[in-house]
Structure 1
């Protein structure tokens, strides 16, 4: 928000479900999900495993009244053209 060219990546967070959920909820509340780039943490995790982890971020709060990360925003992170966004393509 303050610095237009500052981004973060989402790699490695899904190993810690609560931290993963909490980070994405905070990004949602601060309206900065568009500043998150997809990263898989390869070779520790495959891109498919990371995408599954992202898509399952709300599983940890299933059955509770806690807020959910919008799944359409998760898909935006997964499908965003990060290279173009960074001016590298």
Structure 2
């Protein structure tokens, strides 16, 4: 996964609201501080963990590309929403 996908997963794992994410970006902060505070890891280590866990996530069909992907998903407003995904390699 690319760094933007990792950051999206971090935002959900940290429970950040859109406003908190905006403040984080506007203040020039990085994700290391909140990740270190909550999980004891920096973004680089968090990325390694996310990439290791990705093959354990559900395989779904990406509605935009019809590709099968492993995806971190959330459920909102009666629908599943892809947070981040990686192409499934059989």
TM-score normalized with structure 2 length: 0.27
Relative CO higher for 1 or 2, CA cutoff 8 Å, sep ≥ 6?
A: 1
Larger fraction in strand = 2
